[in-house]
Structure 1
Amino acid sequence: MLMKKSTFLKYILIIAALITAGSVHAEEPYTIQLEQVNIPGSPKIHSFAFADHNGKWLFIGGRTNGMHGFDAATAFPKQYANKNIFVVDPATNTTYSRSIFADLDFRVADPLRSTNMQYYYDGSKLYINGGYGFDSLSNDFITFPTLTVVDVSQTIQAVISGNSVAPYINQITDQRMRVCGGEMLKLGDYFYLAGGHIFTGAYSPISNDQVYLNEIRKFKVSASGSNINISDYSASTDTVEFHRRDMNLVPAIKPDGINEYLILYGGVFRSYADLPFMNPIYIDGNGAVTDYSFEQKMSQYTCSYLSAFNSSNGKMHTTFLGGTSLYYYNELLNQQIRDSLIPFINDITTLTRNPDGTSVEIVSPTKMPALLGTNAKFILSPAVPQYSNKVIKLNEISGNTFAGYIFGGIRAYLPNNTPSFASEYILKVYINPKPIGIQPVSGFVPDGYSLSQNYPNPFNPVTKIKFDIPDNGFVRLAVYNAIGNEVAVIVNEKLNSGVYETKFSAEGLSSGIYYYKLTSEKFSETKKMLLIK
């Protein structure tokens, strides 16, 4: 996270926040639940490169202090650069580490202790390019022109066993990889490197050698041992919309439920103002398109996020877990409040892109337990149903489901002008999908409670369930398997009196007998249904 000179001056001048009412959409697609856990010895770091393999986590680079200072001495002190490769096993609550300088020449090691590098993990190799940090050769701070390829499984095993990691880390120099503060993901065979800048010399609020790339770069990488090759390289330039760094580049699924694309959310700073970007950019194999019809008000800086797609309605959801933001949510006023100081926030928001291309921003009633999330990582659980690009298959989960962890990042004491440090929080994240399609059938108020037989029955995989509620109150409609285990919660909310119908999708469940149970304060009834696939 790199702030700009005039942003620093705003901190000193304490410019008043500008209060603006925002559009807050009440119905979130899933609820969020957080649970704090402890893993002894795990690193307190942020802005790192990350990979996970067979349930074990690998961390390289990043910083161990908080947000950078605003003078050369306190901005990026060498002593706070992470010089270790960490392996964390959450299943056994065990942490291992090994110094990068124990095995690697400083020319290879220096880029691996840098911060805000771009990285992508494809299941076997971790690709790391660029990053800003201290270069031993020049005795100065630079943006590294390197691409490093890490054999993840072998490196994890070497760190656990106390052996050299050198055979499993290879690196080349290529000026096209000289970037920091950008984001990198993959579509098909191509890497997409979005935004970022080249920062040279020690950071200073008075004078900086900083050049924005204003590009989205596209290329292929082949890597076999020390033989690393970059091919099919191209770059698209936009000096206005691509003038971004420290943003979120997220994976997405198109409404057809098949094709993948990328969404670039947020980023800083606009070329004409020290403010974050609010218009998302959609990226696929045909190019990049900026959406001027929608403005993202919250969590524009790099932060922890999760992505989920609902194939029943074609909606793509991205949930931002805390972070740093142009707006924050004021519960008393029920408004999003604009603050040009770009404060740390504890809000959780979901951006939903609808099949028709429109988008909405939803503020969750759940909050982060502190001012967390900036430069943190959401680590998706391998057990949750997901697409190949790590987007959660929302249709295939039901009930309160463990989705993954929030790890690392920056923790702040106050929203603005505040001491900060590397976060000690590790949070388990649970999501619970809300029912789709529940709606009153008519305005008729029934005389009594009733639960109808589902239709069709047998079904595959979608069926409808109708029920009558004579009184206003809390209603729960849940599904159980043949041995009585709850497998889905269809309705779990307060409803007005009326006749309702809802859809239940059993996608992800196996064939067999299931039971659905309607419960309210004054009523309970259970019926049987048959799923045949």
Structure 2
Amino acid sequence: MKVRIVTMFVLGLSSLFLQAQTFPYTITLEPFTISGLPGLHSFVAGHDAGKWVLIGGRTDGMHRGGGGPSNPAFPVVNSNTTIYVVDPVAQQVWSASLTSLPTALQEQLQSTNMCFYQDGNWLYVAGGYGYSATAGDHVTYDKLTAIHVPNLITHIINGTSITGDFLQTTHSGMQTAGGALGKIGNTFYLFGGIDFQGRYIMGGNGGGATGSMQYTDEIRTFEIVNNGSSLSISNYTVYTNTAEYHRRDFNLVPQIFPGDVYGYMWSSGVFKAPNDEVYFNPIEITASGITVIPEATFMQKYSNYHSSKIALYDSGTQDMYSIFFGGIAQFYFDGNGNEVEDTNVPFVKTISLVSRDQNGVYAESVFSTEMPTYLGAGSEFFREESIVEYATGIVDMTQLPATTPF
């Protein structure tokens, strides 16, 4: 299979303004083709030395069916059971089947919407939803898996055993899908998501007769103990907010907050009870606390679902920028430049920008460039290796040349 990759370029121009903000770049999309690259969404992404690792997720492109026997959602045949290594420069792809791994690893790593974070050489993967032959049904996994990315890449390229590249532990706090995993200092943060047990039935809050769904409504913090041969979790703590943390399928974006403080923006997401509405307001998370930004202060309207994104920080102006590529949103602009609201929350082509200035004031705009089609939902962004980071996951804008391919 040949799949087109869209590479993002930044150019020294300007964005299309909806609110007053200054961003000195536009975006140009340049597609290219890598033979053998699969079509995936909602997968786990890792990287090392310019190569990418793709694990799990789905190959069908959309949820299908209503969960009934004749047309089920999340069919097993469309689970991704192959680990891919991609060299985007050489345009080569290598792969290895999950079947050589122990059953517990196989089952989790073929699931969808796992939460993941790469910490140095180790890629940590929590939860995920998929079919378990052991359970005889679809489940949300209660596993935390650690993957040694450089070793895994080497072994897959060389065609040698990958069984020694994984560690796994079981913990009920890892049982979520559609959430996100981050890290501040030595503490890991597991944000939101759902615990769904049984076959997923779309359009029913409880999942119907064959399944049950429970939003975590939580931020779970913990430390990971990894000595290279065993894995465990310590200092596990739960923070609950049934009104604001009732979210899944959102974007978690690394941030520099005023005062040069590292943290995250919990960006938008779905679905607000009781009417399955979009969350338009962000949540700020730092080591010192959690701040919910009310909708009356700021609404993120043009990206409401997990997609590729870039975080950029300008230490000179102390401005923080977050760019979101396509995906799903309640608001978008039509061909005449008119804002349209669609409460069905459709796929969109919008590339949007959320900025926050040195005083903590938010603004949102869209770029004149759009995605080539309705792409972006469930996708991941890979930074070009030469791009300098200000902090983990955040591009240093002061180190960007005038024209730089990402």
TM-score by length of 1: 0.69
1:143 aligned residue (140, 144, 153) = 140
Aligned to 1:375: 378
1:190 matches 2:179:
no
Question: What are structure 1's unaligned runs of at least 5 residues?
Answer: 1-22, 404-533
1:56 aligned residue (51, 58, 75) = 51
Q: 2 CA distance for matches of 1:94 and 1:123?
A: 24
1:200 matches 2:197:
yes
1:328 matches 2:362:
no
Over residues 301-339 of structure 1, what are the superposed CA-to-partner deviations in whole Å (9 max), with x where a residue is unaligned? 00000010111211110000111001111241x332110
1:108 aligned residue (83, 105, 108) = 105
1:293-312 matches, cutoff 5 A: 293-312=297-316
Over residues 66-88 of structure 1, what are the superposed CA-to-partner deviations in whole Å (9 max), with x where a residue is unaligned? 11123223310101000001000
Over residues 344-401 of structure 1, what are the superposed CA-to-partner deviations in whole Å (9 max), with x where a residue is unaligned? 0001100001111211101110111111110111111121121231211112213121
**Alpha-carbon contact 2:307-2:380 (below 8 Å) kept:** yes
Based on CA coordinates, which of the two structures has the bigger radius of gyration? 1
Q: 2 CA distance for matches of 1:165 and 1:132?
A: 23
Secondary structure, aligned partner of 2:279 = coil
Q: 2 CA distance for matches of 1:203 and 1:34?
A: 35
Aligned to 1:66: 61
1:245-394 matches, cutoff 5 A: 245-256=248-259, 258-292=260-294, 293-332=297-336, 334-394=337-397
Question: What are structure 2's unaligned runs of at least 5 residues?
Answer: 1-16
1:235 matches 2:230:
no
Amino acid at match of 2:235: D
Deviation, 1:226, is: 3.5
**Alpha-carbon contact 2:20-2:363 (below 8 Å) kept:** no
1:160-171 matches, cutoff 5 A: 160-171=157-168
Q: 2 CA distance for matches of 1:363 and 1:346?
A: 11
Over residues 253-282 of structure 1, what are the superposed CA-to-partner deviations in whole Å (9 max), with x where a residue is unaligned? 1234x3211100011000122221001000
Secondary structure, aligned partner of 1:68 = coil
**Alpha-carbon contact 1:133-1:142 (below 8 Å) kept:** yes
Secondary structure, aligned partner of 1:42 = coil
Amino acid at match of 1:351: V
Deviation, 1:167, is: 0.7
Identity within the alignment, %: 35
Q: 1 CA distance for matches of 2:315 and 2:292?
A: 24
Secondary structure, aligned partner of 1:66 = coil
TM-score by length of 2: 0.91
Q: 1 CA distance for matches of 2:35 and 2:373?
A: 21
Q: 2 CA distance for matches of 1:66 and 1:90?
A: 22
Amino acid at match of 1:163: T
Aligned residues: 378
Per mean C-alpha deviation after superposition, the further-off stretch among 63-72 and 108-117 is 63-72
Q: 1 CA distance for matches of 2:227 and 2:333?
A: 49
Q: 2 CA distance for matches of 1:396 and 1:69?
A: 44
**Alpha-carbon contact 2:258-2:360 (below 8 Å) kept:** no
Aligned to 1:83: 81
Q: 2 CA distance for matches of 1:38 and 1:26?
A: 38
Deviation, 1:28, is: 5.4
Over residues 194-253 of structure 1, what are the superposed CA-to-partner deviations in whole Å (9 max), with x where a residue is unaligned? 110100101113514000000011111011234111111111100000000000011011
1:97 matches 2:91:
no
Per mean C-alpha deviation after superposition, the further-off stretch among 109-118 and 223-232 is 223-232
1:225 matches 2:219:
no
Q: 1 CA distance for matches of 2:38 and 2:150?
A: 20
